[in-house]
Amino acid sequence: MSQGWREGDGASISAASRPEPFMTPRLSKLKYRAWRRGFLEADLILGPFADRHLETLTPAELDDFEALLDQPDHDVYGWIVGQAPAPEAHAGRVLTLIQDFRFAAHASRQEP
């Protein structure tokens, strides 16, 4: 019996976070981790960001993104929404991209 995801089998993985057929294992893992943080507010920012931007990040930026995913959910969320300053180790281009992504997504929902 296959353990993998199959169309129509009732699996809980969403279409947006389903691994693409030609995605590298690392990108697949990072997208999965971004969508499955365990803190819904963070999931709803990091998951869509990963879907849209991971494939365009440099290897160093992917390292930075992975390092962010290793941090506690509430800390990362606070850094993204500006509730707390990010430590210098995480206050770089990737966090800025995520903040900009979140701001643009939030602004588009506010428009009539």
Q: Give me the helices (H) in the chain, please.
A: 25-35, 40-53, 59-69, 73-81, 93-110
Mean per-residue pLDDT over the chain, rounded:
83
Q: Which pLDDT band holds residue 3 (cuts at 50, 70, 90)? A: very low
Residue-range domain boundaries for the chain = 23-110
pLDDT for residue 16 is more than 50: no
- For domain 23-110, the CATH class is mainly alpha
| Residue partners of 80: CB distance under 8 A and separation at least 6 | 42, 45, 95, 98, 99, 102
CA 33 – CA 38 distance, rounded (Å): 9
- pLDDT for residue 10: 40
